[in-house]
Chains A and B, each alone.
Chain A
Amino acid sequence: MNLLLGALAAFGRPVLILCRGTGRLALFAFEGLSHLVRPPFHVRRFAAALIEMAYFSLPVVALTAIFTGMVLALQSYTGFSRFAAQSAVASVVVLSMTRELGPVLAGLMVAGRVGAATAAEIGTMRVTDQIDALSTLSTDPMKYLVAPRLLAGIIALPLLVVVADILGVLGGFIVSTASLGFNAVTYLHNTFNYLETMDVVSGLVKAAVFGFLIALMGCYNGNASRGGAQGVGAATTAAVVSASILILAFDYVLTQLFFAR
């Protein structure tokens, strides 16, 4: 009997911890979102977060996208040439970039860059009493620190993904025309011939969700920081890891929603 209870307890404890954590995160997200529709609005904070997330992430997202497009063209050419289906390279590159690789890779890159920085900044503010100081100065920390970042995430990622899509296709185009012997006009024709509005829109919707998740995990983990430098370090790691996993999990869920017949 004791053995059975022990086994149940061993199973139940992590489940309870998971439920508690999920509940806290959901309440945190709901409160953060609720401040987006309740004045006052911190427009300057939103603008600063948007510039940090979108403009300063451009180089890393652009480089990732262009090299991914190049590799994708090379790999798909190598594979498809075995079946004499090289003409599909252009459509594979554009569909892969717009539907999957653009939003996912941009999301992972921004999670590493901005998610970590957000968690570190809010975590440091937490352990140095700056968040308490905000409260004593008639400023709701959720409204001032969290809501502008959530909105910036929702807007910044789709903007970055538009750039990533274009550069990814450009990377594939450069490799295909410069080293694989494709005709430039035919390649572009194949690219746009098979591309549908839904392919781009689904990628942008995914990007908006990923942007929200990155900002949410950065803010949540930063706000939960305790105990000085070590706590801030742990929060930074947790923000990046959790955002990355959630991006991949939500990618599957959204793909299922958009494309499963």
Chain B
Amino acid sequence: MSAAAPKIRVRSLAKSFGEKRVLDGVDLDVPAGTSLVVIGGSGSGKSVLIKCILGLIEPDAGTIEIDGENVLALGQEARRAIAARIGMLFQNSALFDSLPVWENVTFGLLARRRIRRAEARVKAGEILGQVGLAASAGELFPAELSGGMQKRVALARAIAATPEMLFFDEPTTGLDPIMGAVIDGLIQDCVKRLGSTAVAITHDMASARRIGDNAAMLYGGRIVWEGPAASLLESGNALVDQFTHGRREGPIRMELRA
């Protein structure tokens, strides 16, 4: 592995569902310790891209390298070892509704036998504190929490094992602007504190500029623009401009039929 190799490198990634080609040769580099935000319209394949990197969907072609190693060529055990270095915050939080919050937060640690069950409640309280929740919230069930609190718990679960890589799937979707900003702030804090490499996908331009060092736009199954997240609104790219400013007229044609 060369010293300059990015933490995550995606090359020529392709994935189709039936006739629909969702990813059509995606190339992407995420340097270690940086945050990349991937933007793109609904159905553009952002979630599929992130799920391919996480190993939840098997791509049809291409390579996904983590620390210079092609994960698609690895066996199940090696893939599991890589998955243990990743934290993920799902769009709808995906908390286990049959388990209390403390067990949700420490689920990964318990599964990897990194803590004993007797210590898990205390550990969960510490991690919940890092996302601005009281330890007593650990005794509640996910259904008893508001949307914002669920996102915080999901973030706590994602960072519990101090992962090297963090993935966020639309972290502010369904939240009011203030709660969205709070979640973005927590994400920034967590990523900085852990020194993790982060990839987030979002529609929310304010969120994209807050949490991303760099940004990339996915359109037509490919990355059509990459640059600093701060320059998203002045990218000079017609596709990005139309998307970030929410214009109806422009080169992007929205598919109205599946």
User: Chain A residues in contact with chain B, CB under 8 A?
Assistant: 121, 125, 128-130, 132-139
Question: A138 vs B84: C-alpha distance in the bound complex, in angstroms?
Answer: 6
- The answer to whether residues A135 and B56 also contact, given A129-B90, A129-B91 and a CB cut-off of 8 A, is yes
Q: Contact between A138 and B83 (Cβ–Cβ < 8 Å)?
A: yes
Interface size, chain B (Cβ < 8 Å): 23
Q: Contact between B56 and A130 (Cβ–Cβ < 8 Å)?
A: no
Q: Contact between A138 and B94 (Cβ–Cβ < 8 Å)?
A: no
Q: Contact between B94 and A133 (Cβ–Cβ < 8 Å)?
A: yes
A246 CB to closest chain B CB (Å) equals 27
Q: Contact between B92 and A135 (Cβ–Cβ < 8 Å)?
A: no
B73 CB to closest chain A CB (Å) equals 19
Residues of B within 8 A of A134 (CB): 96
In the complex, whether B183 has a CB less than 8 A from a CB of chain A is no
Residues of B within 8 A of A130 (CB): 94-97
Partner of A138, one of B54, B91, B108: B108
Q: Contact between A132 and B90 (Cβ–Cβ < 8 Å)?
A: yes
Question: A125 vs B98: C-alpha distance in the bound complex, in angstroms?
Answer: 10
Q: Contact between A133 and B96 (Cβ–Cβ < 8 Å)?
A: yes
Question: A135 vs B51: C-alpha distance in the bound complex, in angstroms?
Answer: 11
A189 CB to closest chain B CB (Å) equals 50
Q: Contact between A137 and B111 (Cβ–Cβ < 8 Å)?
A: yes
Partner of B88, one of A121, A128, A136, A139: A136
A230 CB to closest chain B CB (Å) equals 16
User: Chain B residues in contact with chain A, CB under 8 A?
Assistant: 51, 54-56, 80, 83-84, 86-88, 90-92, 94-98, 107-108, 111-112, 157
Q: Contact between B107 and A129 (Cβ–Cβ < 8 Å)?
A: no
A147 CB to closest chain B CB (Å) equals 15
Q: Contact between A129 and B94 (Cβ–Cβ < 8 Å)?
A: yes
Closest 4 pairs between A and B when the two form their complex, measured CB to CB:
A129-B94, A137-B108, A133-B94, A136-B88
A-B contact count (CB 8 A): 46
Question: A157 vs B83: C-alpha distance in the bound complex, in angstroms?
Answer: 37
Q: Contact between A129 and B92 (Cβ–Cβ < 8 Å)?
A: yes
Question: A138 vs B55: C-alpha distance in the bound complex, in angstroms?
Answer: 12
- The answer to whether residues A132 and B84 also contact, given A138-B108, A139-B107 and a CB cut-off of 8 A, is no
B115 CB to closest chain A CB (Å) equals 13
- The answer to whether residues A138 and B90 also contact, given A132-B51, A132-B56, A133-B96 and a CB cut-off of 8 A, is no
Residues of A within 8 A of B92 (CB): 128-129
Q: Contact between B55 and A135 (Cβ–Cβ < 8 Å)?
A: yes
Residues of B within 8 A of A121 (CB): 98
Residues of A within 8 A of B83 (CB): 135-136, 138
Residue of B nearest to A48 (CB): B98
30 contacting pairs across A/B (C-beta < 8 A): A125-B96, A128-B92, A128-B94, A129-B90, A129-B92, A129-B94, A132-B51, A132-B54, A132-B56, A133-B88, A133-B94, A133-B96, A134-B96, A135-B54, A135-B55, A135-B56, A135-B83, A136-B54, A136-B56, A136-B83, A136-B86, A136-B87, A136-B88, A137-B107, A137-B111, A137-B157, A138-B80, A138-B84, A138-B112, A139-B107
Residues of A within 8 A of B86 (CB): 136
A40 CB to closest chain B CB (Å) equals 8
Q: Can you add 8 more A-B contacts, CB < 8 Å, to A135-B55, A136-B87?
A: A132-B56, A133-B94, A133-B95, A133-B96, A136-B54, A136-B86, A137-B157, A138-B108
A31 CB to closest chain B CB (Å) equals 12
Residues of A within 8 A of B97 (CB): 130
Residue of A nearest to B80 (CB): A138
A117 CB to closest chain B CB (Å) equals 12
Residue of A nearest to B84 (CB): A138
Question: A121 vs B55: C-alpha distance in the bound complex, in angstroms?
Answer: 24
Residues of B within 8 A of A133 (CB): 88, 90, 94-96
Residue of A nearest to B47 (CB): A129
Residues of B within 8 A of A125 (CB): 96
Question: A129 vs B55: C-alpha distance in the bound complex, in angstroms?
Answer: 14
Question: A132 vs B93: C-alpha distance in the bound complex, in angstroms?
Answer: 11
Q: Contact between B96 and A138 (Cβ–Cβ < 8 Å)?
A: no
Residues of A within 8 A of B80 (CB): 138
Question: A139 vs B107: C-alpha distance in the bound complex, in angstroms?
Answer: 9
Residues of B within 8 A of A138 (CB): 80, 83-84, 108, 111-112
Question: A136 vs B157: C-alpha distance in the bound complex, in angstroms?
Answer: 11
Residue of A nearest to B90 (CB): A129
A205 CB to closest chain B CB (Å) equals 32
Question: A130 vs B98: C-alpha distance in the bound complex, in angstroms?
Answer: 11
Residues of A within 8 A of B112 (CB): 138
B138 CB to closest chain A CB (Å) equals 17
Question: A133 vs B155: C-alpha distance in the bound complex, in angstroms?
Answer: 12
